[in-house]
Chain A
């Protein structure tokens, strides 16, 4: 369960203050798929960064399973993120010169997963995104859609509880984008993983159980929450 309480994030200096996120509160039950919608500049990326502990709010709280992220030390937030969270980005951020295996291995290394247990996890993650045959291929040899599937494999390899996706299909055509969407929603359903998608794509948003619309840093509307 993710609880967001009265989050405010202010940028700028005195006299020229600007609230990117302005008093946002909501509760997301575990295993829900959520779309955060809004135009560019609406504060949706900042909100995601704060929820994932990458950024600190000016005021307000984020509680994940009752744990207040704001009270944790940087080191503990890092450990928390490596064990419980994962990210998918619009421009993939796969390491072009590394093999698919090494790309997917990175989160396991960061989370200190023992060597002996890594191979099985990596193989099953690559199988889940249908890239088993590319395990030794370098990431730069892959097509755009394959790269994003590789990114999905990297995101799910350490069995996270929360998956953040920032415009996951923004750089893909509708067919390959659809494949990536199916992967994300299928994985989220099957493993009861909370999926938080930041997007301005309404079609993608409607596939989520909950839609949070942001406008100028404030919640415009929330659909789907009971």
Chain B
């Protein structure tokens, strides 16, 4: 008997037992729904994370830290080493970078520039006639694409500043466009090894652009942006003369465009430092998403496992109900192999139906839910549930395979039926 004829007959006998077929498929559908949705959430989460990374970091950027000592057993005395360290009190020290290290990294092949991380404590930001607000300021990076609401980055090297949208009104401007060209002031304290500041100075900046304050610019790296030289000037004012001056927790090295950042990373590591690419820094996000997705898929798999027994049960009943039909087909010369195939194909149809129903419902649910989720989490146009055709196809195909496997036992029972016994059954 041809596979095509068997497939059609299998589909027909399922249609003749509509309620049973539908209920069995729905059981698988629950699993398919869960798995499809978890894959979609995983894909959406990864997309979301990548968009955060690309809008906040430069892929050619490397964050370089001194190589720290291996974890030290606090129960034993620690050996002294003649390297400059920052002491955080107690026995906790951290190695730091000095200007000589910065120069050494700058010499490494394909490194375009090295900028130390200037840690400057901002006191507050204000417009000449506004209230004071706390903020952070970071160095402007031309390679990171910014979402400007007004203005741009041109002129930033001449004491310019890029503001964040939600500061516009607080600082007393009418709107983003009104802020362009206006002056804002940042206050910096000067320390000299003490805890009380010696004096405070106001630095003036001209607003060149305003960027969106979206969730995509995640808060820890959310801040005003100024030119690196300005940041250095603030740092010098704040720290010069203190014991912390000239030592850095880390530095940002920029790899040449078109050069694989990982080879530069290897070179820097070989020079005795601990470099991390933007991707490395964000990898924990992906790990988190993967774990979350695995847990969700796990629930789906559990549901599928349960439905496997449903298929086996349904198919066993089907074999019992159709004993006569099987007997007739065998009497007419249908081969054992083909009888087995008929029942396996029926199971395959059930699996296909369940997969299609489940993933179809998941797509509907995801499409309806997406705008609500985005609104609730303030994501703007970003979708957190992304359906990839390949994952839907593999869910459906996987379920068909699982169904066929669960159909093997009932199919074998059907194939082994003795036609004489089967035809005697009334």
Query: A interface vs B, CB < 8 Å?
Result: 49, 52, 54-55, 74-75, 78-83, 85-87, 89, 91, 93, 95, 97-98, 102, 106-107, 109-112
Chain A proximity of B418: nearest CB distance (Å): 9
**Chain A hits for B335, CB < 8 A:** 75, 78
Contact A81 B1 (CB under 8 A): no
Kindly supply a per-residue 1/0 record for chain B positions 317-349, scoring 1 wherever the CB is within 8 Å of any chain A CB and 0 otherwise: 000000011011111111110100000000000
Q: Which of A49, A79, A83, A93 contacts B328, CB < 8 Å?
A: A93
Q: Which of A97, A102, A106 contacts B329, CB < 8 Å?
A: A106
Contact A78 B334 (CB under 8 A): yes
> Are A109 and B331 CB-contacts (below 8 A) given A54-B419, A54-B420, A93-B324?
no
Contact A55 B333 (CB under 8 A): no
Given contacts A52-B331, A54-B419, A93-B327, 16 further A-B contacts (CB under 8 A): A74-B336, A75-B335, A78-B334, A79-B333, A81-B333, A82-B333, A86-B332, A93-B324, A93-B325, A98-B12, A106-B329, A106-B332, A109-B2, A109-B5, A110-B329, A110-B338
Q: Is the interface of B mostly helix, strand, loop or mixed?
A: helix
CA distance A98 to B322 in the complex (A): 13
Contact A109 B9 (CB under 8 A): yes
Does B94 belong to the interface (CB within 8 Å)?
no
Q: Supply 15 A–B pairs (Cβ within 8 Å), ascending by A.
A: A49-B420, A52-B331, A54-B331, A78-B335, A79-B333, A83-B333, A87-B332, A89-B423, A93-B324, A93-B327, A93-B423, A98-B12, A107-B332, A107-B333, A110-B329
Contact A112 B332 (CB under 8 A): no
Q: Which of B12, B325, B333 contacts A110, CB < 8 Å?
A: B333
**Chain A hits for B330, CB < 8 A:** 54, 78
- Interface residues in B5-33 (C-beta closer than 8 Å to A): 5, 9, 12, 16
Most chain A beta carbons < 10 A, residue from B328, B336, B419: B328
From B328, which residue of chain A is reached at the shortest CB distance?
Answer: A93
CA distance A81 to B328 in the complex (A): 12
Interface residues contributed by chain B, number (CB under 8 Å)? 23
Does B381 belong to the interface (CB within 8 Å)?
no
Does B426 belong to the interface (CB within 8 Å)?
yes
CA distance A117 to B317 in the complex (A): 35
**Chain A hits for B1, CB < 8 A:** 109-110, 112
**Chain B hits for A86, CB < 8 A:** 332
Contact A82 B2 (CB under 8 A): no
CA distance A78 to B324 in the complex (A): 18
Contact B16 A97 (CB under 8 A): yes
Contact B332 A80 (CB under 8 A): no
**Chain B hits for A79, CB < 8 A:** 333
CA distance A49 to B331 in the complex (A): 10
**Chain B hits for A97, CB < 8 A:** 16
Top 7 nearest A-B pairs (CB, nearest first) are A82-B333, A81-B333, A109-B5, A97-B16, A78-B333, A110-B334, A93-B328
CA distance A49 to B423 in the complex (A): 11
Chain A proximity of B285: nearest CB distance (Å): 56
Most chain A beta carbons < 10 A, residue from B5, B325, B330, B338: B5
**Chain A hits for B338, CB < 8 A:** 110
